[in-house]
Structure 1
Amino acid sequence: MTDSARRVRQYWRLQLLGWGLYGVFGVVAYSMFSRSFSLSIVLIQLVVAATLVGISHGLRYLIRRFDWVQRPLLSVLWRLLLTNLLLAVLSQVVIWAVILLLIIPLLQPNGKPQGWGEFAGYALNVNFVLWLWAAVYFGLQYLRRYRQAEVDKWKLAAAVREAEMQTLKAQINPHFLFNGLNNIRALIGEDPARARTMLSHLSELLRYAIQLNRTEQVPLHRELAVVRDYLQLESLQLEERLHYAIEVPADCLNVAVPPMLVQVLVENAIKHGIAPRPDGGAVRVQAACTGAGLQLTVTNTGCLEPAATTPRPDGTGTGLRNAAERLRLLFGEQASLQLEQTTPDLVTARLHLPVEPVSLLHH
């Protein structure tokens, strides 16, 4: 059974139990005050309970249809004020119609309907009960959303940790470290200055990856700095086969991005696009900030293959999937990540993020 189906079943159980108890209470209270008990009392309270089940379910429909749970408190209160009043009056119209047309003719031929004063009194009573129902319903919804937010928070933490593990495995694994250190060692005798520079790039990349679990988002300029470190280290291995360019305007540099997100896109471009080609190719990182958010693209020479996006048994190929999951947990539907073959020999990863300066983030 899905979680949605389970919530629907729980909702109807609570509806029938709650309004059933309300009807039983009405029978007991009326019998005590009138000192009599009859089948008509039971039928009337059954009609009342059934009507209130339908009326409250209609209120639930309005709440869900127009997403009142997401609205500010004052906006919800005045909507409930009008809706509950109308539903309370409607409930009495239905109840009194059933009593006048069915119950009185069948069970109380000599009975007379009550006056408008009683009609207004019962309507006010139902209005009060609907407010209690709405308070319980909204309370449960807020509690569920709070719990879901906690679940998403832990999912995000788990996704960040897994991203860190995948990054350390795919990018800074022993093989990568061995190649990097071996290339740097070869440079020591030929070009000591460049060897020191490359060692600094490797050190920065390691430090950045180890600190992944300390924050959910970082400034784009910090992410691009480690991307440059990574590209410099890859250029040792690929040499003239790798060409790259990073073209990001200054107004985008403080936009918040998940750490290692752009890094994963660049690593994916090199691993699946540049490295397999004997002639190599080029990687270009571009970005633009608009009112709609940050638009970032990573374009690389190559052809889109299933291995670039489909996880494989050895655990590789999970970078983009993990990145997409982190985006969903952080931004919901406001963010997107797409990979497409833009030309016969160019693959483009398109990333969209809402613009949020890092200075406004809560770390």
Structure 2
Amino acid sequence: MSKQKIYWFCQLFGWSLLILVEYIAYLLEDGFDPDTLYLAVANIFLGITLTHLYRLMIQRWNWVRLPFFRLAPRVLLSVFVLALIMTMVNLPMDRLIVPQHLMDEPWPLFGYIMTWGKTMLAWVLSYTAYHYVEENRNAEIEKILLKTSIRETEAKVLRSQLNPHFVFNALNSIRALVFENPAKAQQSITQLSNLLRNSLLADRRKTVELREEIKTVEDYLALEKVRYEDRLTSHIELDGRTLFWQVPPMMLQTLVENAIKHGVSTAIRGGFIEVRSNLVADKLHIIIRNTGVLGDKSASGGFGLANTAQRLELLYGPDARFQIFQEEESAENGPIVCAEITIPAQSESIFRRKEVAVRTSE
């Protein structure tokens, strides 16, 4: 049933019940009188009409949007006016129909206003309080929707980051390969095309499968390998159970790019990048290790790190974690920086069904 139908049902039922109770009291005391019945019916329609006019008035002037200290005086004044109108109609009629009931009343006008005032106050408070609460709830919903929209816009901006300097360097590297190794140049163009396509699609998708994101990382590393040659080594090791987990698009690529820019490229002999994934306590853990020294974040990819932390919070809430720290220096690999990402399970059953489907097809 719609709100409009519920409103009219409550109006008819409520006023009919109220007037009927009073009419029965008159009937039991004085017996049946057609004039009393007509007045009772008139009071039903008058009460419905007056309260409906009040409803139209508060809707037209948006009283429910007013703060309480401005709404309360208007409500009390409306109750007094409605009670006064009901009194002006009923008091003269009762003097004609049942004058015996007014003989012992010293202040009948005051008594009628108080009686009808209680009735109108109950109706007005019920209706106004309901819509006041509903309006505040709708306002809160609008705030939540607006906040969600803002967060979604921020997430779209953060998803579509691809360093233009990398594109410039990649094109220069490919240009050098055109005459030296045309086949390698063609492969590099394809890899760069894949990267650009994924970057353009990133603002349309909140998450992608880990295996798809890793392909982007592999394309990126292959292009950087052309530039750094033997100064860059990489190793990717993934747990098969994690391949279908959803991760933010271009997130790992951003971290790998940051690792090369502020780690491998600054090392005299170059360095390595290692990417691993596994499941721990039903959470996806991704670890990126690379040669480098973790210094001031503002000078060491601070935007990329803040980008990652913010995107994880926007998508997964406080259960997602991102941390980066300096490992103990080893004689074999030198100083190592480690970045860890933790993503909680979102739809684990979906990942398992996809994994089963792939294994079946194989």
Give 1:178 deviation, angstroms: 0.6
Distance 2:173 2:184 in 1: 16
SS of 1:175's equivalent in the other structure is: helix
Q: How does 1:1-363 map to 2 (within 5 A)?
A: 14-33=67-86, 129-161=128-160, 163=161, 167-172=162-167, 174-182=168-176, 184-185=177-178, 187-188=180-181, 194-290=184-280, 292-306=282-296, 309-310=297-298, 317-344=302-329, 345-356=335-346
Q: CA-to-partner distance for each residue in 1:142-183, whole Å, 9 max, x for gaps?
A: 12222222233333333334x2xxx141421x233213432x
Distance 1:341 1:291 in 2: 25
Report the residue type matching 1:185 in the other structure. Answer: V
Q: CA-to-partner distance for each residue in 1:298-339, whole Å, 9 max, x for gaps?
A: 111211022xx3279xxx753223333333333333433222
- The range that moved more, 122-131 or 296-305, is 122-131
SS of 1:216's equivalent in the other structure is: coil
Report the residue type matching 1:333 in the other structure. Answer: P
Change (3 A) 1:341 1:360: same
Q: CA-to-partner distance for each residue in 1:8-42, whole Å, 9 max, x for gaps?
A: xxx9962222233222223333455567xxxxxxx
Give 1:240 deviation, angstroms: 2.5
Report the residue type matching 2:132 in the other structure. Answer: W
SS of 2:298's equivalent in the other structure is: coil
Q: Larger RCO: Structure 1 or Structure 2 (Cα < 8 Å, ≥ 6 residues apart)? A: 1
Report the residue type matching 1:243 in the other structure. Answer: T
Q: CA-to-partner distance for each residue in 1:232-284, whole Å, 9 max, x for gaps?
A: 22222222322221111111111122221000011111111111011222211
Change (3 A) 1:204 1:12: closer
Distance 1:186 1:286 in 2: 36
Contact (CA 8 Å) 1:219, 1:358: kept in 2 or not?
no
Contact (CA 8 Å) 2:170, 2:223: kept in 1 or not?
no
Change (3 A) 1:149 1:286: same
Distance 1:358 1:213 in 2: 24
Give 1:285 deviation, angstroms: 0.9
Distance 1:171 1:209 in 2: 13
Structure 2: 5+ residue runs without aligned partners?
A: 1-63, 89-110, 330-334, 352-362
Misfit runs of 4+, over 6 Å: 118-125, 358-361
SS of 1:245's equivalent in the other structure is: strand
Distance 1:131 1:210 in 2: 48
SS of 1:318's equivalent in the other structure is: helix
Contact (CA 8 Å) 1:311, 1:318: kept in 2 or not?
no
Change (3 A) 1:359 1:266: farther
Distance 2:283 2:73 in 1: 51
Change (3 A) 1:18 1:207: same
Report the number of matched residues.
258
- The range that moved more, 152-161 or 248-257, is 152-161
- The range that moved more, 257-266 or 280-289, is 280-289
Distance 1:143 1:297 in 2: 39
User: What residue in structure 2 maps to residue 45 of structure 1?
Assistant: none
Q: CA-to-partner distance for each residue in 1:55-97, whole Å, 9 max, x for gaps?
A: xxxxxxxxxxxxxxxxxxxxxxxxxxxxxxxxxxxxxxxxxxx
Change (3 A) 1:31 1:119: closer
Distance 1:199 1:121 in 2: 78
Contact (CA 8 Å) 2:275, 2:286: kept in 1 or not?
yes
Question: Aligned residues: percent identity?
Answer: 26
Contact (CA 8 Å) 1:256, 1:358: kept in 2 or not?
no
Structure 1: 5+ residue runs without aligned partners?
A: 1-10, 36-110
Distance 1:202 1:170 in 2: 13
